[in-house]
Amino acid sequence: MSKYTIGWMPGDGVGVDVMQAAREVLDAVGFEAEYRPLDIGWEFWRREGDALPERTVQGLKEVDAALFGAITSKPKDEAQAELAPELQGQGLVYRSPIVRMRQLFDLYQNVRPCKAFEGNPLNFRDGIDLVVFRENTEGMYGGVEWHPVTGPIREALESHPNFSRFADVAPEDIAVSTRIITRKGAERIVRAAFEYAREHGYPNVTVVEKPNVLRETGGLFMEAARKVAADFPDVEMWDTNIDAMAMWLVKNPEDYGVIVTSNLFGDVLSDLCAQLVGGLGFAAAGNVGEGVAVFEPTHGSAPKYVGQDKVNPIACILAARMMLDHLGEKDAARAVEEGVARVIREGRYRTYDMGGSTPCSEMGRAVAEAAAGALGAV
């Protein structure tokens, strides 16, 4: 019997190519796993009206961790039009399966390391080493929204003094999304960031919010953060507003290390951080809670590159590295990281985004060989 059971979710489009490359790397470092394929993606929306079928949700309960490739998503009308004819008109609504997995399994940490590998021609600057901790279950992603705004919701809003400016707007002409921050949600993501900083030797954690305007939700997040920070006297807490942080990250990205923030701010900021180190081809994420964890490259399914064996698999390989680390396979994780670092540094293989023409599969093979070579040395 294998040591681990891994949920295998290539999903759509180039998700299949990059997962194949990651698999080669996992095999090269001797990772002993049984891979259990789990259905997810656009095909299942079209055929079954559910991009995350119930059998996949059950399957995720039985694996140690999962690797997830990419998902296609389309605007509301297109999504409806592509549904199988017998499913039309039943009121089915497409919902992002990755967001659902995060909420269903309470994967409250979205950990996104962004490191400038030496020799990467796409680095904005050398020496960047950032890790974004994005709260992953609440905030603007809570899914608590209304349109039109009627009934008790309307009445509740009207009882708020600041709503008077909108009181005359017709129900169908107003939409409301809520931003829900809980003390528990804020505390646990900040704690995860501080623990990571301590464990990995980062001297500080930057807490990013907007409490000067979002006084209640931003205020609660900051209050919770300060309380958690007091438990880590060895790690300094910096705090910055989201807008300023975007600016500082472009100006002085080397000054920062671990960053923690709420869901939507983390979504935006982590794309910014990814671009500082080469873009989405280098951006991996771990969705982590107390149970199963799901690792993914943060890029999408890139429909225009499907079937071309073209995209950069490094993000997915780095997601596999995070999975190894999470499972406690530290030597294998280090070997994968070293393999990636070596291939980028030597510069013989460059995918199209890096200005070269190395196919996805060849990049995977090159990293796999380098990782296998590094395994003995780590």
| Span interacting with ligand IPM, options 93-101, 123-131, 160-168, 274-282, rule CB under 6 A | 93-101
Of 9, 51, 83, 98, the residue at the interface with ligand IPM (CB under 6 A) is 98
* Residue 296 touches Mg ion, criterion: CB under 5 A: no
CB 199 within 8 A of CB 237: no
Phi, psi (degrees; rounded to nearest 5) at 95: -125, 140
Q: Which is nearer to Mg ion, 64 or 267 (CB)?
A: 267
Residue 85: count other Cβ atoms within 10 Å of its Cβ: 6
| Span interacting with ligand IPM, options 4-12, 94-102, 189-197, 344-352, rule CB under 6 A | 94-102
Give the DSSP per-residue string, 124-145: SSTT-EEEEEEE-SSBTTS--E
Distance of CA 5 to the CA centre of its chain: 22
Q: Which is nearer to ligand IPM, 46 or 74 (CB)?
A: 74
Q: How far is the CB of 261 from ligand IPM (least distance, A)?
A: 13
- Look at residue 337 and give the partner it binds from Mg ion, ligand IPM, none, a contact being a CB closer than 5 to 8 Å depending on partner kind: none
Strand partners, 258: 131, 205
Q: Which is nearer to ligand IPM, 298 or 351 (CB)?
A: 298
Active site residues: 141, 210, 243, 267, 271
* Residue 99 touches ligand IPM, criterion: CB under 6 A: yes
Q: Which amino acid is at 233?
A: P
Q: Which is nearer to Mg ion, 134 or 310 (CB)?
A: 134
Q: How far is the CB of 226 from Mg ion (least distance, A)?
A: 27
Residues in 295-334 at the binding interface with ligand IPM, rule: CB under 6 A: 298
CB 69 within 8 A of CB 79: no
- How is residue 356 written in tokens? 């070269």
Q: How far apart, in whole angstroms, are the C-alpha atoms of residue 230 and residue 35? A: 42
Q: Which is nearer to Mg ion, 50 or 267 (CB)?
A: 267
CB 140 within 8 A of CB 148: no
Residues in 252-281 at the binding interface with Mg ion, rule: CB under 5 A: 267
- Look at residue 64 and give the partner it binds from ligand IPM, Mg ion, none, a contact being a CB closer than 5 to 8 Å depending on partner kind: none
* Residue 138 touches Mg ion, criterion: CB under 5 A: no
Size of the site for ligand IPM (CB under 6 A): 5
Q: How far apart, in whole angstroms, are the C-alpha atoms of residue 261 and residue 315? A: 22
Residue nearest Mg ion, CB atom distance: 267
Q: Which is nearer to Mg ion, 36 or 100 (CB)?
A: 100
Q: Helix and strand tally (H, E) in the chain? A: 13, 12
Residues in 258-277 at the binding interface with ligand IPM, rule: CB under 6 A: 267
Phi, psi (degrees; rounded to nearest 5) at 131: -135, 115
Q: How far is the CB of 316 from Mg ion (least distance, A)?
A: 16
The one-character DSSP state at 95 is -
Give the DSSP per-residue string, 67-82: EEEE-----HHHHHHH
Q: What angle do helix axes 330-346 and 15-28 make, rounded to 10 degrees?
A: 110
Give the binding site for Mg ion (CB under 5 A): 267
